[in-house]
Amino acid sequence: MRKTPVVPTRTQAWFCFIADQILGCAMVSGGSAALGVTNMNRTGIRHMPIPNFCKSLGFFCDHLAISVVFALLAFLLLAASSILDVLRLSGDC
């Protein structure tokens, strides 16, 4: 293996950094939306007569909770990628 950088140019490093930031924000908003739906389905809505959906749709609620965990994991990996991009960009100064 040669000792060549994974991101060869500064422009490509900036592009990766910006893409990581955009995807990170999308993951946070998607995860928070799924978390809100999961919480509403588990507890019901107190001020409206909507039943607890997870009693009848437990399989759906479990999968929704797993998707929240994967959204958090993906966000953490994107954050690590952003840190690596910053280290790459700061090394070129």
Average pLDDT over residues 18-30: 83
Average pLDDT over residues 34-58: 67
**Terminal-to-terminal C-alpha distance of the chain:** 26
Following CA atoms 72, 53, 37, 66 in sequence, which dihedral angle do they give, to the nearest 10 degrees? 10
pLDDT for the residue numbered 45: 64
Residue 73 has pLDDT above 70, yes or no: yes
Does this model's pTM top 0.95? My answer is no
Task: Please report where in the chains the tokens 């749709």 appear, as a residue.
Answer: 57
How far is it, in rounded angstroms, from Cα 37 to Cα 54? 11
Q: Identify the three-state secondary structure at position 89.
A: helix
Q: Which of 8-12, 23-27, 59-63 has the highest mean pLDDT?
A: 23-27
What integer best gives the mean pLDDT of the chain? 75
